[in-house]
Amino acid sequence: MKNKQIVTWIAFLLVIPLLSGCWTLVAAGAGAYGGYKMKENGYTLQNPITKEKKSKK
């Protein structure tokens, strides 16, 4: 019984680092998509974030 418990803990500890990379990719993808949608609506990434003004010519 103790061997099974040890193997379970080792497997659990090995899986955690593998999943952390996936969550990083998901967060980066969500941020990129949000930035793309903001750019579509006329916003630019400046400090502070502002909407582009259309010049009247």
Q: HEC string of the chain?
A: CHHHHHHHHHHHHHHHHHHHHHHHHHHHHHHHHHHHHHHHCCEECCCCCEECCCCCC
Q: Is the pTM above the cut of 0.85?
A: no
Q: Tell me the per-residue pLDDT of 1-57, one tens digit each, with 9 for 90 and over.
A: 788 888 898 888 888 777 777 778 888 899 899 888 888 888 776 666 666 677 666
Q: Tell me the per-residue pLDDT of 28-42, one tens digit each, with 9 for 90 and over.
A: 899 899 888 888 888
